[in-house]
Amino acid sequence: MQILIVGIGALGGTIAARAIRAGLPVRLAVRNTDSAEALRRSGLRVSGLGGEVTADVIDVAAVEDYGKGDQFNLILLATKAQEALEIAPHVVDLLAPGGIMLPIQNGGVARALADRLGEDRILGGSSNFGATMVEPGVYEQKNAGHLVIGELAGGVSERTDRIARMLGRAIEVKTSSNITGAIWSKLLINCSVTTLGALCSQTMRQYMETEAGKKVFRQTYQEALSVALAIGTRLERLSVDPIPPGWPSSFAAEEHYQSWVEAIIAFYGDVKPSMLQDFERGRKTEVDFINGYVVALGHASGVPVHMNATITGLVHQIERGVLQPARDRMNELADQACERTRGTSI
């Protein structure tokens, strides 16, 4: 089995180093020849949880330098979401007959690729292990999570098991018969915990100390949840039940709702939002595949998504440098929540 990993950033670099050390036949694709040359010189080094590994000799080239003679049984797409959509149609021709592409981005990427390239060539993937790139070639694994993979149409398959067994030699991999539900359950967290934290430059624990933060979290999460359920998603339990107690009647079980929120804070409350890191580095975010994806599906299915739409717009303004992440952002959003939900039961 020949493997190509495209995008040797935080997640791709960490997986690549561990896969090479495990003896898997892995080749790497980066943005251009300069990046390839730099990585060839530096090799890969991963520290942190999961143990330290180095890979001094790596087979790396610019993505455009892979061509006709190259055939891969698995292409792991580990770029950011936008780049994954751009690159996938070019690298799909590198798949051997029966080969599979595995995108591991959050949100709507795998579904979009399956719609464009065919479900027979795409598996769904989601990572709950976190890694950062210190510099190209140097990575730190931040937690001991795993990759979960599965058929987007649901159910079990021989090819999912085969890939899980193989990648499982390098990192922890689980299979899911409901990967779409798993991706959506994580998306609910991405929409609320990650994006809201980035907008106000705080962790979830910090913004949930304010009434504004509580109100905005609730509406953001509940809109995304309503969309997920409206399009027929069967949500998977991750660390916390994705459906708040008492849902959809939010008044009946207020104390249970608070315990549910506490459980989310216990799990995600102290993580620095990855989107905030994108803001700090002046990079485009993945918001169009997170809150923006919820908005698009909300509009298509007639579910109100005002808060997620406002949030998506604010993120775009920060990307353009028109606004900055700031704590006051949460108060502005909370005021809008009052305006827009007056008379509703959220």
Ligand X SMILES: NC(=O)c1ccc[n+]([C@@H]2O[C@H](COP(=O)([O-])OP(=O)(O)OC[C@H]3O[C@@H](n4cnc5c(N)ncnc54)[C@H](OP(=O)(O)O)[C@@H]3O)[C@@H](O)[C@H]2O)c1
Give the nearest residue (CB) to ligand X.
Answer: 9
Q: Does 18 bind ligand X (CB under 6 A)?
A: no
In the list 7, 137, 181, 298, the residue contacting ligand X (rule: CB under 6 A) is 7
**What binding mask, one character per residue, do residues 256-295 give for ligand X by CB under 6 A, x or -?**
------------------------------x---------
Report, in Å, the least distance between residue 214 CB and ligand X. Answer: 26
Q: Does 104 bind ligand X (CB under 6 A)?
A: yes
Q: Does 11 bind ligand X (CB under 6 A)?
A: yes
Q: Does 167 bind ligand X (CB under 6 A)?
A: no
Counting beta carbons within 10 angstroms of the beta carbon of residue 337, is it exposed (0 to 12), middle (13 to 18) or buried (19 or more)? buried
Q: Does 170 bind ligand X (CB under 6 A)?
A: no
- Window 25 to 84, contacts with ligand X (CB under 6 A): 29-31, 35, 63, 78-81, 83
Structure tokens at 302: 């007639």
Stretch of 5-13, 201-209, 229-237, 296-304 contacting ligand X, by CB under 6 A: 5-13
> Which one, 32 or 258, has the nearer CB to ligand X?
32
How far from 168 is each of 103, 137, 324, CA to CA, in Å? 16, 22, 41
Report, in Å, the least distance between residue 32 CB and ligand X. Answer: 7
Report, in Å, the least distance between residue 106 CB and ligand X. Answer: 5
In the list 3, 26, 46, 87, the residue contacting ligand X (rule: CB under 6 A) is 87
Q: Does 194 bind ligand X (CB under 6 A)?
A: no
Q: Does 130 bind ligand X (CB under 6 A)?
A: yes
In the list 5, 6, 208, 265, the residue contacting ligand X (rule: CB under 6 A) is 6
> Which one, 24 or 76, has the nearer CB to ligand X?
76
Q: Is 154 left (phi over 0), alpha (psi -120 to 50) or beta?
A: left
Residues in touch with ligand X (CB under 6 A): 6-12, 29-31, 35, 63, 78-81, 83, 87, 104-106, 127, 130-131, 133, 286
